[in-house]
Structure 1
Amino acid sequence: MSATVAVLGPGAVGGALAVPLALGGARVVCVARPETAQAIRREGLTLDRPGEVLHARPESTDVLLDRVDLLLVTVKAPALDDALDRVAARPETVLPLLNGLEHVETIRRRLGGRVVAGSIARLEAYRDGPTHVVQTTPAPFVTVTSPVELLRDAGFDVRVEPDERIVLWEKVVRLAPLAAATAITQRSLGELRSDPDWRSTLEDAVDEACAVAAADGVVLNPQAQWEILDAMPPTVTTSAARDAAAGRPTELDAIVGGVVRAANRLGVPVTTLERLLDEAEERCRPRSR
């Protein structure tokens, strides 16, 4: 019997995972708002990624009533609390793939059970309508604290890192500076890298984020983080920047604010990150409708 995977939030990240999982033989249930669930039920999900267009017909619902083997939580941080209200049955395993540092404990409190911390990298994707996801990068890289064979079976590159703090910090030390800078400037990574002032600001912010991680027991080399940023395509931007441009709520508080709160708790000065957060929040206030 096929394993059952529920995807809470079948947006850009959720859709990029749901389609390969369904095509790989898993029973996939997308859990979404009623209008999105109806659209998926009617049209299925299409994933347009480099070199191919994939289509799957997962199940969909607005409330998860049945126990599943794996629940992927792929909503954005501002939507997390409301999304968790849609989970009425305790899953066997929960894998959150949100950005930030604080969401894992929130999910543990709300859902209980086995929560496997995870992060997803090398994925740039956006939703072009409720049933169409466009992925502009190759296959994503998933880091988890415990093996999740369903992801490997669907063709994803999975690395197991038993320390939950490492899983979360390894991504956020780069993402926090980049999310703030792209949201403030609406410029790509390549444009920021080539601007001496912004590059210096980002270097300082990465140094600060790595210092906070070290105080939390995770030693990460700032130069190594810059080598990763320098190797990324120049066109890369962030979902925080796209959300800010569209006037939607952003993940800046979860990503950058989470690092600043950790710094305050651990007694680490982060003046550059605090300034970036203040400027980003001022410029990126959601527009009233």
Structure 2
Amino acid sequence: MSDSLTTSERTMTQLKADCESCFGLCCVALPYVKGADFAFDKTGGSPCRNLQSDYRCSIHTKLRESGFRGCAVYECFGAGQKVSQSTYGGSDWRSRPETAQEMFAVFPVMQQLHEMLYYLHEAMHLEAAKPILKDLQVAYNKTESLTELNPSRILSLNVPDHRVLVNDLLLRTSELARAETPVKNSRMGRGSDLIGAKLKGADLRGANFRGALLIAADLRGADMRVCDFIGADLRDADLSGAKLTGSIFLTQAQINSAKGDRNTKLPAGLRIPDHWKK
């Protein structure tokens, strides 16, 4: 890793998937069902038939075309390499089969902890969240310490209870960040059902899309600046020409699940997906 990276940039790199340093955990530990996102059924703990001996995916460059859109939009937030290289010290599940099932159980717990770290890290770097910066730092340090536990202790964690504490801080962060951007559309709110909604060119600034269903919504040219997108479902939402700068808790995985074009304005740190360029 380049020495020119800042501490914040290094942290964000660690909170993004590094498949080269992982033992293909998402391709083994997680189950999926044949449908729009997966081409066949797979049980949890069994390797995907596309997983190679070097833990790389044989269809990685053509996941969408091969019927694995679900894989193309999955993000472990760096949990894969953490479990592989830190929790298990670089010992893979093939060479140590006695640890395999434990490793597969640890991975989804670690993924939840890393997701919380990702959001807390973003919150800590928002100017609007300065009034609660110390609380955010404490929560971040506590969550990070949980990721350093041994496998048995990780599996005994009460993650839902810890998530409640973290979520409270993220809610306060959202309120502070959106305080000066009044919402103009009364339809917008936490957990809104906006599946297929016609919102082309709408002024949605400052909306709380936390947990909202925006599946296949027409958001072309919409102004979605300073919105909260934590947990929002953007699958097949059309973001062509939409403005999302300044929005918070929006992930690359969410963007990857949507449609858009080169005119879509994204928050710093997110990129235009390759399939948007086609």
- TM-score normalised by structure 2 residue count: 0.27
Q: Rg larger in 1 or in 2?
A: 2
Greater helix fraction, Structure 1 or Structure 2:
1
